[in-house]
Amino acid sequence: MKDKLRIALVGNPNTGKSTIFNALTGLNQKVGNFPGVTVDKKIGFSKLADGTSLEIVDLPGTYSLYPKSADETIVFEVLSDRNNTSHPDLVLIVADATNLKRNLLLYTQIADLGLPVIIALNMMDLAAKGNMEIDIDGLAKRLNVPVVPIAARKSQGIEELKKAIQYQTHASFQNPTIDVEVIAPGLIRAISDELNLSNPYVALQIAHQYKNIRYLTKPQISKIEGLEKQYHFHSQKSQAAETIARYNFINDILLDTVKYNSVALEENISNKIDHYLTHKIWGFVIFILILFAIFQSIFAWSEYPMYLIETVFVWFAEMGHRFLPEGALTNLLIDGVLAGLSGVMVFIPQIALLFAFISVLEDTGYMSRVTFMMDRLMRKVGLNGKSVVPLIGGLACAVPSIMSTRTIENWKDRIITIMVTPLVSCSARLPIYTLLISLVVPKKYVLGFINLQGLALMSLYVMSIMAAILVAWVMKGIIRSKIKGYFIMELPVYRMPRWNNVGITMFESVKTFVTQAGKVIIAVSIVLWVLASYGPSNKFEKIEQKYDAPGLKSQYSKSEIDRLIASEKLENSYAGVLGKSIEPAIKPLGFDWKIGIALITSFAAREVFVGTMATLYSVDGDATKMESVREKMAGAKNSSTGLPIFTVASAFSLMMFYAFAMQCMSTMAVVYRETKNIKWPLIQFTYMLVLAYTASFIVYQLLK
Amino acid sequence: MKLSQLKKGAKGIIKEFTDLEMSVKLMEMGCLPGETIRVERIAPFGDPIAISVSGYQLSLRKREASTIELI
């Protein structure tokens, strides 16, 4: 056995594939990309008892090697191309024991590719409860493949699985499943000769998929195209024949190895739950209540940890100012880097909670019920039941959500979903909302239990979703397409969420936020500090000279003069100049030049707003006395009128702007990658900016 | 009779498909000729429907269900 073994994890969706992945690798995983495509590549590492190190690649869940979406193409590519950097030594197929028939379809396809395989038969505990008897040894013998019974949620069988991996040799011994050659006899041989393939099923799959396989060269593709015409190959007919043959094979085996005693208990329970959760009235009431509970909890539960993080940073800044030598470097460190860092860290509790809730909804199977309930409604506005998941996922972050639209088979539905997903309030807007709401909405309870701030926040979220739906409806009329969409989706039985997975999702999302968004935010914070601390030509000197005048010195105290100098310096800094230059455009929205600066800096990423505010307000004013950003903003006054800058009107106007404007470089980059046309991100940016400006204008003028 | 005409709770056996493209996708998901189907639920707005087939539940739109002929 060699020292390093690469394993590909393959299976249907909802089979507990990710639970097994987590059980095998723990937190020892990383997310990368398959070269050239945007499919997330999850890799984990583990060690066997004999010291062999494992590299486990988690491939996207799929029902078949015939891809229904762009994501699934990667599975065949990785498994069939020996030169692929992820090509495995061994394939671990995860199959759901309670749903063996459909799960074995994928097994038979992969077995025929000729790679060494092991079957992890998951959910054995549920199969036993459902009065289903599976003859594991019989199954293993018939297929001539190691079959390891496991119950991943209960962590049963993981050690046995590792042993099976250890003892598996590098040759494949599985019995052939169907006679592949009879499906397209001449063509399979011709393609095999052309591409020098030894496996007939790889040749057949290539016959179906050659247009989308990236390791084929252009001449090869046109050669295959010619061969198909020559042999009168009909892809759908051939696929239908193959699927029927495979199911015949599977039925034959299951007849001898599985005994059903009665209908699965789990399914009965699921049916009862569904009676309420997808009910005409209760279904929607429950859905709204669940969303309501989620947002109330995010606000309530994150309050204390956020306060704690804030306090720690304030303490650090105080200590820094007290003990570090005064100078530009210290200021950069404390007012630039530390202030920016604090702006990132403080939102970890909220992001972790939101991702935790979303992962619970996915994990329990509730998300697919939402899809089921909403499909008709979504279709009316030009979306698709499957758009619900990206839209709800948009509550966390538009970037992964836009990537998840790849499950939508219909191009038009998918484009519209991509176009409106960034309208849904993502977690990056949450810091801005939280900050502004806490500034202008009193912390009161209505009817004894409804937190007024929570209510304001929820209204913003509801509004964002309604805006997304409305825009989708408009786009439905504009974008033309002839292709019919379809919707075939598994409704998995309800399961308890796997807390372990929820924990890992929380950890991973926070890690991504801190490393990805954090990098941008800290970089922008430093640039900002420089912009706010230095100004064009000799203006700064002139300010110093102006306040050096003896008349002023007698009029004001030393600290007052310092504050005046600082504020005038900021106004004349590069940042101030930039903010002021856009002030005329944003004045009708109730924004001053400082907000203008924040708008400019946060065009790269919304999260930067709070960091910008932190930097702007700690640079402005008494630098030795640290206050949290919120207090500083509450005290901020317009220098010409003396009125507070953050009023109900201007704060809500600002929230509208952040709600609608596309201020996220990452989203635009992803939209471009997913649509492969620069037109779409540009259209998106423009329509969102127009929407943002209009909404802010209306809100400010009404509330003023 | 078509699957789309089946009432909630009713059963049927798949005879054939009237659309080749749909049939490939449906068969992969376990809807094969000879399989028994039961309509478990209909979504609040009348579409899609949820069916039991091959030991699990599948949801599909009425338009797709209308391509499945029952015995």
Instruction: Find the CATH number of the domain harbouring B65.
Output: 2.30.30.90
B45 contacts on A by Cβ (under 8 Å): 376-377
Query: For the residues B29-38, what does the mean pLDDT come to?
Result: 92
Confidence class for position A526, pLDDT limits 50, 70, 90: confident
Instruction: Tell me what pLDDT residue A447 has.
Output: 75
Confidence class for position A625, pLDDT limits 50, 70, 90: very low
pLDDT tens per residue across span A496-507: 888 888 888 788
User: Taking CB atoms and an 8 Å limit, are A373 and B43 in contact across chains?
Assistant: yes
User: Taking CB atoms and an 8 Å limit, are B30 and A101 in contact across chains?
Assistant: yes
Contacts of A98 (CB under 8 A, 6+ apart): A123, A126, A127, A130, A132, A264, A266, A493, B55, B56
Confidence class for position A265, pLDDT limits 50, 70, 90: low
A237 contacts on B by Cβ (under 8 Å): 20
Instruction: Tell me what pLDDT residue A618 has.
Output: 60
SS3 of A309, please? helix
Q: Closest Cα to residue A402, out of A642, A695, A71? A: A71
Beta carbons within 10 angstroms of residue A281's beta carbon: 9
Q: Report which of residues A487 and A569 the model is more confident about.
A: A487
Q: Which residue in chain A is spatially nearest to B31 when comparing CA positions?
A: A102
Distance CA A297, CA A451 (A): 11
Instruction: Tell me what pLDDT residue A579 has.
Output: 84
Q: Report which of residues A561 and B35 the model is more confident about.
A: B35
Q: Smallest Cβ distance to B48: which of A63, A102, A372?
A: A372
Minimal CA separation from A239 to chain B, in Å:
7
Distance CA A203, CA A237 (A): 17
Q: Which residue in chain B is spatially nearest to A97 when comparing CA positions?
A: B55
Mean pLDDT across chain A, nearest whole number?
83
Instruction: Tell me what pLDDT residue A628 has.
Output: 66
Query: For the residues A162-175, what does the mean pLDDT come to?
Result: 83
User: Taking CB atoms and an 8 Å limit, are B46 and A376 in contact across chains?
Assistant: yes
B59: containing domain: 3-70
Strands B11-17 and A488-491: unpaired
Look at residue A2 and tell me whether its pLDDT is greater than 60: no
Instruction: Tell me what pLDDT residue A205 has.
Output: 94
The top-scoring range by mean pLDDT among A156-160, A449-453, A521-525, A534-538 is A156-160
Distance CA A434, CA A219 (A): 57
Mutate to test the interface with B, among A409, A489, A493 (most CBs of B within 10 A): A489
B22 contacts on A by Cβ (under 8 Å): 486
Backbone dihedral angles phi then psi of residue B61, each to the nearest 5 degrees = -80, 160
Counted across chains A and B, CB pairs separated by less than 8 A come out at 113
Query: For the residues A134-147, what does the mean pLDDT come to?
Result: 92
Dihedral (C-alpha) A591, A592, A595, A597: value to the nearest 10 degrees? 130
Query: For the residues A62-84, what does the mean pLDDT come to?
Result: 87
Q: Closest Cα to residue B65, out of B55, A12, B46? A: B46
SS3 of A416, please? helix
Instruction: Tell me what pLDDT residue A652 has.
Output: 92
Q: Report which of residues A73 and A630 the model is more confident about.
A: A73
Q: Closest Cα to residue A209, out of A52, A384, A359, A62? A: A62
Whether a cis peptide bond, with omega within 30° of 0, leads into B48 is yes
| Binding-site residues on chain A for chain B (CB distance < 8 A) | 63-64, 66, 68, 98-102, 105, 236-237, 239-240, 243-244, 247, 264, 267, 270-271, 274, 278-280, 283-284, 368, 371-373, 375-377, 385, 486-493
Instruction: Tell me what pLDDT residue A83 has.
Output: 86
Minimal CA separation from B4 to chain A, in Å:
14
Look at residue B6 and tell me whether its pLDDT is greater than 50: yes
User: Taking CB atoms and an 8 Å limit, are A236 and B21 in contact across chains?
Assistant: yes
Beta carbons within 10 angstroms of residue A54's beta carbon: 21
A274 contacts on B by Cβ (under 8 Å): 40-41, 50
Query: For chain B, how many structural domains are there in total?
Result: 1
Q: Smallest Cβ distance to A99: which of B40, B45, B56?
A: B56
The answer to whether domain A4-167 has CATH 3.40.50.300 is: yes
- Lowest-pLDDT choice from A8-17, A129-138, A236-245, A653-662: A129-138
Boundaries of every domain in chain A: 4-167, 180-260, 282-478, 516-703
Contacts of A38 (CB under 8 A, 6+ apart): A403, A670, A673, A674
Integer CA distances (angstroms), A313 to A168, A317, A507, A522, A656, in order:
53, 6, 22, 15, 29
The top-scoring range by mean pLDDT among A38-47, A175-184, A294-303, A596-605 is A175-184
Query: For the residues A403-413, what does the mean pLDDT come to?
Result: 77
Look at residue A440 and tell me whether its pLDDT is greater than 70: yes
Instruction: Tell me what pLDDT residue A230 has.
Output: 92
Minimal CA separation from B64 to chain A, in Å:
7
User: Taking CB atoms and an 8 Å limit, are A278 and B44 in contact across chains?
Assistant: yes
Minimal CA separation from A255 to chain B, in Å:
13
Q: Which amino acid is at A388?
A: V
| H helix count then E strand count, chain B | 2, 5
| ipTM for the assembly | 0.94
Contacts of A701 (CB under 8 A, 6+ apart): A588
In B39-58, the residues whose Cβ lies within 8 Å of chain A are: 40-41, 43-48, 50, 52, 54-58
pLDDT tens per residue across span A467-476: 999 999 999 8
Element (H, E) at A186: helix A185-195
Query: For the residues A549-566, what does the mean pLDDT come to?
Result: 70
User: Taking CB atoms and an 8 Å limit, are A486 and B25 in contact across chains?
Assistant: yes
- Lowest-pLDDT choice from A64-68, A489-493, A594-598: A594-598
Query: For the residues A373-380, what does the mean pLDDT come to?
Result: 88
pLDDT tens per residue across span A315-358: 988 888 888 888 888 888 887 788 777 766 777 887 788 778 87
- Lowest-pLDDT choice from A2-6, A451-455, A511-515: A511-515
SS3 of A31, please? strand
Minimal CA separation from B6 to chain A, in Å:
18
Instruction: Tell me what pLDDT residue A13 has.
Output: 87
Q: Which amino acid is at A215?
A: Y
Look at residue A203 and tell me whether its pLDDT is greater than 90: yes
Query: For the residues A14-38, what does the mean pLDDT come to?
Result: 78
Mutate to test the interface with B, among A105, A278, A488 (most CBs of B within 10 A): A488
* Burial class (CB within 10 angstroms; exposed 0-12, middle 13-18, buried 19+) of A482: exposed
pLDDT tens per residue across span A676-690: 788 999 999 999 999
- Lowest-pLDDT choice from A114-123, A168-177, A400-409: A400-409
Backbone dihedral angles phi then psi of residue A326, each to the nearest 5 degrees = -65, 145
Q: Report which of residues A343 and A57 the model is more confident about.
A: A57
Look at residue A563 and tell me whether its pLDDT is greater than 70: no
pLDDT tens per residue across span A573-623: 888 888 888 889 998 998 888 888 888 777 667 877 877 777 667 655 444
Q: Smallest Cβ distance to A372: which of B28, B50, B63?
A: B50
In B3-42, the residues whose Cβ lies within 8 Å of chain A are: 20-30, 32-33, 40-41
Confidence class for position A626, pLDDT limits 50, 70, 90: very low
Mutate to test the interface with B, among A243, A255, A388, A389 (most CBs of B within 10 A): A243
Backbone dihedral angles phi then psi of residue A427, each to the nearest 5 degrees = -65, -20
Residue pair A302/A430 in contact (Cβ under 8 Å)? The answer is no
Percent of chain A with pLDDT over 90: 27
Beta strands in A69-116 (DSSP E): 90-96
A99 contacts on B by Cβ (under 8 Å): 54-56
pLDDT tens per residue across span A211-259: 888 889 999 999 999 999 999 999 999 999 999 999 999 999 999 998 8
Instruction: Tell me what pLDDT residue A1 has.
Output: 47
- Lowest-pLDDT choice from A53-67, A274-288, A505-519: A505-519
Integer CA distances (angstroms), A474 to A95, A281, A419, A420, in order:
43, 28, 11, 11
Instruction: Tell me what pLDDT residue A534 has.
Output: 83
Mutate to test the interface with B, among A131, A371, A486 (most CBs of B within 10 A): A486
Instruction: Tell me what pLDDT residue A597 has.
Output: 81
Residue pair B26/B18 in contact (Cβ under 8 Å)? The answer is no
